[in-house]
Structure 1
Amino acid sequence: MAKKKCGICGKELGFWDNKMPLKDGVICYPCLFNKGNFYGGADQRHMNGFLNSHTAAEIKELMDNPVKLETIKRKVAPVNHHHHKPIAQCAFCEQDIYKNDAPLNFKDSTYVCLDCAAKYRATKAYNWASEHTIEDFKESINQKVDFNDINFKKAQKELKEIEQENAKKQAEKEKRKQEQAAIKAESVYYGGYYFDIDKRKIYAKTAFHGIEFFVNADEIVSYRVNEKGHDKNKHHVFTRAAVGAIIAGPAGAVIAGTTGGKINEYIDELGVIINLTDGSNFEVSLLNAKNNKADGFFVRHAYSELNHVIAILDSWKATEKVVEDTKDNTDAPVEIRRYKQLLDDGIITQEEFEAKKKQLLGL
């Protein structure tokens, strides 16, 4: 189906574009409302009928002649003010102004009717009027200001601000995308979490926000292996949770402890529950589906991942212990000097100083 074109600006209009039928075509809404003022102070139903019965060339002529347009509106589409009281009088011609007349409303509570607004080519200066007084308007008239141009410049400024804001959001989005790509490249992924081994951080993968920072290795105090399974023939369900305090020891020993020497036909759940310093915990779930045979590919793969996760946790704790030991050794001379000063000041005895010195030196 061929697209229709706006009879004023020539833009192609699709099925979903807002448009008004004319006698020889259509007019788009931006032209109807932004380039003209066909509905301000006019009855909409009658104005629609007027538009339908005129050509694009005739409508364009009215757009270029606001005074003539206001005259036409009052003639063919007057608003019924029956039983309504005027809200004000025009500051220029003193004619009554009603609520539905869409006049210029200035910030000093004065009004200008649409006829006078059209006379001074200010029929679309609503925003400008709300920020200025009637005296500003009169002064601008004397200076022959083009009010429509003021509105255009303001609209352009607002559009530029929107574009800048969108560009800022896009830059932030791109930056976040790059950061998440870097996390993926530097980390290993298990059960919904990215483990950055070198930086000792765990990131969570979320549905709406992508990769989010979750926890530092220093916040982890212990873990436990969560394993659930069953025997299909006996319908026996077993649950085991081998606890690891993240201390020195091979991960394989922990895994061996989960099976307890019993062979089960199916493994339903397998994961690592990690406990944090604030008392909370979370689970790195590596398998969560029924009827996975214990010797099948998925179970063997899940146990392999379990070994890797526990190895990471144990290595973090081991590294932390080395750092603490190094720190203690580094601080020993400082502590000895401090206790020597206490001895010299007579606060502690020679025996107490020697005992503390041996303790700090690990003798």
Structure 2
Amino acid sequence: MAKKVCSICGKRLGFLDSNLRFNDGIACADCCKKIGLSTLNMASINWAEKHSVEEVKMMLHVGQIIDPHQDNQIDKQLQKKHENGKNMADAEIQDKLKHKQEVVKQQEIQQKEDFRQRKLQQKQAIKQQRQDRKAADEAKYEKLRQQFELDAAYHFVKIMIDFESQQILIRKGLLTPYQLYSFADFKGYKQIITPGTVKKHHGIARGIAGGLIAGPAGAVVGAVTGGTQYEVVREMSVIMYFKDNQQKKVRFISFETKTDSFTYRSAQESCLSFCQKLDEISTAQKQEQEIGQSSEQPTQAQYNTSDIADQLRQFKQLADDGVITQEEFEAKKKQLLGI
């Protein structure tokens, strides 16, 4: 027969050793005494039947001492009926259930708050990343702009052309970001002149003729000289074309302007100067292409020198092998070298 063991201290209990039986185990007299229970007391026996060993361990841990008589009186009162017919035990269960529901509700509220906080933190992190990127981009743009100014780059309104670095910078606007292109990205340009009231001839025809005769910039000259006379020009602009079908329109006149006004003459000069700079970009592109081609292809003289050296080595080998005489080799050598 297995001996009993105290569920609290682990002491082996003999047949004559007194103990109390709890609803989940037994405890020796020494352990029970430490919390105010007696193995010979009926009140203690009744109290033990309603409680667990785990409760006793907790009491021992905190040093709690109970009065089993008083606790039993409380238990009896809990069995009395309420005025509405429900006993105190039912009310206690209801209270516990209500408390549990309240805990679950609080947990749900906390989970929602935690989720809201996580979303807020994510938004703040994304916002910070955008601000960091914006600051880095702003610093990069400012450095570019300063470099263009140091290189004495040509500029008109938002367009800056740097022939030192061979780059084109379109400065940022209030709502538009900056754009940076290399000369290699530039694909050409087109001029647009829209007349208002035509007094004598169809001005655009004269403008096209000027463009064909004097080059791209000549279209501006042809549109306002010779037999063409506009009273008013509504638009004067240049469209710049870049790779990947990107383009930028630069306006010199965007409202009806009389051709005999100072405003018109100033816009005309600016447009001519701007187009000349664009022509210089095209010239720089051609020069770069020519330099690249010349560096990639060896000259004919290099080929000829290499051929002569190969032939001399072949004839020298023939002389060494005795196929030809030394005199014949020397004669061939003079012939190849033009001596």
Judging by fraction of residues, say which structure has more helix. 2
Larger radius of gyration: 2
TM-score interval for Structure 1 and Structure 2 normalised by the shorter chain: 0.3 to 0.5
Judging by fraction of residues, say which structure has more strand. 1
* TM-score after normalising by structure 1: 0.43
